[in-house]
Amino acid sequence: MKISKLSVNIVKSEIASQAIGIAVSSDGAVAKELGMTRDQLALLGFESKVGQAIVVPTGKAKQVIAVGIGESAKANADVMRSAAAALARAAAKFSSLTTTLATSGRADRAAIAQAVTEGLILATHRYDDLKTDKKATSKLISVLIVAPAAMSAAINKGVKRGETIAEAV
């Protein structure tokens, strides 16, 4: 029995969604898609710490969410699981999300994809069948993981394993 309402799929390029989640390490360059520098993010209180997420004000229809992964050399599967959970919580007001989070990190691609999927699904799960006030329930129902063709087989394997494990918890 499937308990999660969240669908995780892999795509080769960004497709229309309400929000995009971008990993930001505490070292290295900041992705140009954020439209901000590291100093501008710091002014908003974003320090790229593991599990830190912020919706970046862009003035565009698609919202951009910066997700901290800490030092890029230390971004293993556990770090990426925490980052994915933070991303899911930050994106709770949106119904769809696109992210490249599974292509970040320093480990086996399948392990990273599994961890990202587990973090996304487990962070959005709420048992609210007996509640009358469902305001705390995440609206996020679709996540698209952008992955280049060279990584898609490993990421697909990790996503499937992550879905299985998250559903079993």
CA distance 57 to 64: 8
Closest CA to 147 of 121, 116, 118: 116
* Minimum mean pLDDT range among 5-9, 74-78, 124-128: 124-128
Domain covering 7-127+135-168, topology: Leucine Aminopeptidase, subunit E; domain 1 (3.40.220)
Report the side by side order of strands in the sheet with 96-99.
7-11, 142-146, 96-99, 19-24, 63-68, 53-56
CB contact at 8 A, 109 and 159: no
Q: What's residue 4's pLDDT? A: 60
Per-residue pLDDT averaged across 15-31, rounded? 90
Q: Is the pTM of this model over 0.85?
A: yes
* Minimum mean pLDDT range among 61-70, 125-134, 139-148: 125-134
Beta-carbon contacts of 97 under 8 Å, excluding residues fewer than 6 positions away, are 17, 18, 19, 20, 21, 65, 87, 88, 91, 140, 142, 143, 144
Q: Which helix (H) or strand (E) holds 154?
A: helix 149-168
Side chain identity at 166, as an amino acid letter? Answer: A
Read off the pLDDT band of 1 (50, 70, 90). very low
Per-residue pLDDT averaged across 138-155, rounded? 91
Per-residue pLDDT averaged across 44-53, rounded? 94
Q: What's residue 7's pLDDT? A: 84
CB contact at 8 A, 163 and 117: yes
Question: SS3 of 47, please?
Answer: coil
